[in-house]
Amino acid sequence: MGTRFAMLTMLAAFAAATLSARRVAGESLWQLMVPEQRRILVRQPDELPRAVVPETPPPSTVSNPRFDAPSRDLSLDDAIRTSLANSEVVRVLAGVTAVSSGQTIYDAAITNTAIDQERARFDPTIRVQNHWNRFEPPAAFFDPLDPTRTLIGGTRTDDYDLTYEISKTTAAGGTLAFGGGDNTARFQPGVFPLNPENRSSLDLSYTQPLLQGGGTAANLAPIVLARIDTERSYFQFKDSVQEMVRSVIEAYWALVFARTDLWAREQQVEQAKFAFNQAEARARVEDISGAEVAQPRVALADFRASLVAAKANVLQREAALRNILGFPPYNADRITPISPPTSDRLAVDWDSVTHLTERYRSDVIELKLILEADRQYLLQARNQALPRVDGVALYRWNGLEGVMPIGDPVSSSLGNSTDWTLGVNFSVPLGLRQGRALLRERELIIARDRANLEQGLHSAMHMVALSIRNLDQFYEQYLAYRETRLAARVNLELQMNRYRAGVTQYINVLQAIVDWGNAVSFEAQSLTQYNTELARLQRETGTILETHGVRFYEERFGSIGPLGRLFPDACYPKAMSPTPNESVYPDSDKPAEEFFDLEDPLQQLRRRKPIDVEKLPPLQ
């Protein structure tokens, strides 16, 4: 006893010294008992795990565009397939780069696990408890030999207690349980009726909510809500993939336009250079003054500046396409699009596209699913607004056995002693204020989300209408610019011939070069915009994946199954192997910009001898 007291005294003295030292540092006793995190602990960047950075060549620039690098022919269908294959995280186009949409291929599968989590409520539960106990409470009693004295003693009980139960919650909200118990006890000192004594029992019980908490619909609502959440996650993912496919198409046609525009600007430089050389030649023979040579020089410099911007645009557009395809910034090759744009006019049936929008557009579908979830929440709110009335039933079989003081065993079977209980439990908060408020809230939420669905469909119709107007505008512009290009080419040849013959000023040639280059660029831009808008219309109606034959599949995934780690992992799910999306766009064996008949309008002119001005046709 003395040793134990001395140890406790030393521990108390050490604790008091520690508390005193820390309280001197300004910490209160409560802070010492319940410590707080008062500092922001941030590790240095070098202390964090390193990520693998792929080794790639430096990107191309305007000063080093590497246009002579090996060409990598890429059709639009292959571009879509490549982007789908390289997109664990879905990317979308944002200007001249691609960014993460926030959606991944794992999101829907992660959400899908919530269904089993909600189903787990109805799984049978087995509970087994084993306890070895010793009870020896001290008690004071008078000494039978001397009533003036008190003795301290007691009875020691050693027992083994076993309880077991299997229970299950039913779809109707009831709880069915079957279990029992077994208790073996030994007593000392003294004489007892049974020593050792063994008590055993078997229980069968069922509790069924009759109002609140009862009913199949209310109890299965969490599973239905989990399934709706999985559908919402799927359609959110599908929406991001739709935007990714549309972004790939937009990036592809933007690169086609940039390459066409680059060719036009190169031709403008060549034409300005040709005119400048002509002016220098005429100045050497004193046919024109030096002032008339300065203007072609300025025009040539200006066209070269425009050429730099066109080169930069090609590099940016190719980089954007590489980004969304999952390629590195540069990979020692140059992407060459080989799918020509379509010049066929699309006839749009307004009734058909509006019905497709209502059925297939992902954000409209998500609003419908939100309304479905609201109805499940309303069902639960109505159930919670009911009084609590539970029917209970219990039947128990009891048994007892043991050893008598004379050493003979004695026992009673389980059927000799039984217990049973039948009853109805009732409880209700007066006024049901909380339940009624929750019910009113859910009814208002349904009204709000129904309005959101109507607004979502209203907005979708306007977006489809805008896309249809854009389609018509871009196609009409394409037709107009195609005619403008033909007229500009004729005008350029005539003005250049007249300038060579000395019958017109260079300002007319300059304007003709600008008009022709802009006409080529605008024609390509309007047609590529038209092709991009075709994809946008499919996106707005929610059918772009179906149009391109893109189908989702579930990859095999091995993980812990219902039987646990002691058994083989389960495969989620057993899926079919994926197949490539269908081909939609035509391929060719030449770059896509060749669709615009890229031919130098002055190629023949440079080979000709000076012509007789009198034989030129009059300008219109």
pLDDT in tens, 251-295: 999 999 999 999 999 988 888 888 788 777 777 776 666 677 788
For 242-246, what is the mean pLDDT?
Answer: 95
| The pLDDT of residue 611 | 36
Phi, psi (rounded to 5 degrees) for 63: -70, -30
Same-domain pairing of 504 and 539: yes
> Contacts for 87-92 with beta carbons within 8 Å, 24 or more apart?
87/241, 87/244, 87/326, 90/237, 90/240, 90/241, 90/243, 90/244, 91/244, 91/247, 91/323, 91/324, 91/326, 92/240, 92/243, 92/244, 92/247, 92/324
In a domain? residue 556: yes
Q: What percentage of residues in the chain have a pLDDT greater than 70?
A: 90
| The pLDDT of residue 32 | 59
Q: How far apart are CA 608 and CA 275, in angstroms?
A: 14
pTM over 0.75: yes
| The pLDDT of residue 504 | 75
pLDDT over 70 at 420, yes or no: yes
Same-domain pairing of 151 and 230: no
Same-domain pairing of 206 and 138: yes
In a domain? residue 598: yes
Same-domain pairing of 345 and 226: yes
| The pLDDT of residue 574 | 63
b/e for 59-71, b at 16 or more Cβ within 10 A? ebeeeebeeeeee
Q: How far apart are CA 188 and CA 66, in angstroms?
A: 98
pLDDT band at 333 (very low <50, low <70, confident <90, very high): confident
| The pLDDT of residue 383 | 95
The encoded tokens of residue 241 equal 């993939």
pLDDT band at 618 (very low <50, low <70, confident <90, very high): very low
Locate tokens 């599968």: which residue?
109
Q: Which residue did the predictor score with more confidence, 235 or 513?
A: 235
Same-domain pairing of 106 and 241: yes
Which CATH number characterizes residue 331's domain? 1.20.1600.10
DSSP letters spanning 404-423:
-TTS-EEEEEEEEEEEEEEE
Question: Which of 409, 427, 445 finishes a domain?
Answer: 427
Same-domain pairing of 196 and 333: no
Same-domain pairing of 466 and 514: yes
Same-domain pairing of 493 and 588: yes
- Each residue of 518-553: pLDDT tens digit? 999 999 999 999 999 999 999 999 999 999 988 888
AA letter at 32 = L
| The pLDDT of residue 615 | 43
- Each residue of 458-500: pLDDT tens digit? 999 999 999 999 999 999 999 999 999 999 988 888 888 887 7
Task: Work out the mean pLDDT of the chain and round it to a whole number.
Answer: 87
Same-domain pairing of 495 and 610: yes
Q: Give the orientation angle of helix 216-284 with respect to helix 291-325, to 10 degrees.
A: 160
In a domain? residue 563: yes
Contacts of 81 (CB under 8 A, 6+ apart): 580, 581
The encoded tokens of residue 504 equal 């017109």
Closest listed residue to residue 475, CA positions, set 339, 347, 592: 347
Q: How far apart are CA 188 and CA 610, in angstroms?
A: 133
| The pLDDT of residue 405 | 87
In a domain? residue 93: no
- By residue range, what is the domain housing residue 301? 100-114+218-356+454-615
| The pLDDT of residue 161 | 94
- Each residue of 8-17: pLDDT tens digit? 566 566 555 5
Q: Look at the chain and report how many structural domains it folds into.
A: 2
Cα of 393 vs its chain's centroid, Å: 49
AA letter at 292 = E
Same-domain pairing of 194 and 226: no
pLDDT over 90 at 54, yes or no: no
SS3 label, residue 558: strand
Contacts of 442 (CB under 8 A, 6+ apart): 374, 377, 378, 381
pLDDT over 60 at 337, yes or no: yes
**β-pairing verdict for 334-337 and 71-74:** parallel
Exposed, middle or buried by CB within 10 Å (0-12, 13-18, 19+), for 230? buried
- Each residue of 81-106: pLDDT tens digit? 999 999 899 999 998 899 999 999 99
Most confident of 32-36, 152-156, 319-323: 319-323
In a domain? residue 440: no
- Each residue of 355-409: pLDDT tens digit? 999 999 999 999 999 999 999 999 999 999 999 999 999 999 999 999 898 888 9
b/e for 484-513, b at 16 or more Cβ within 10 A? bbeebbebbbbbbbbbbeeebebebbbebb
In a domain? residue 69: no
Same-domain pairing of 241 and 258: yes
The encoded tokens of residue 468 equal 């249809």
Same-domain pairing of 301 and 418: no
In a domain? residue 466: yes
In a domain? residue 557: yes
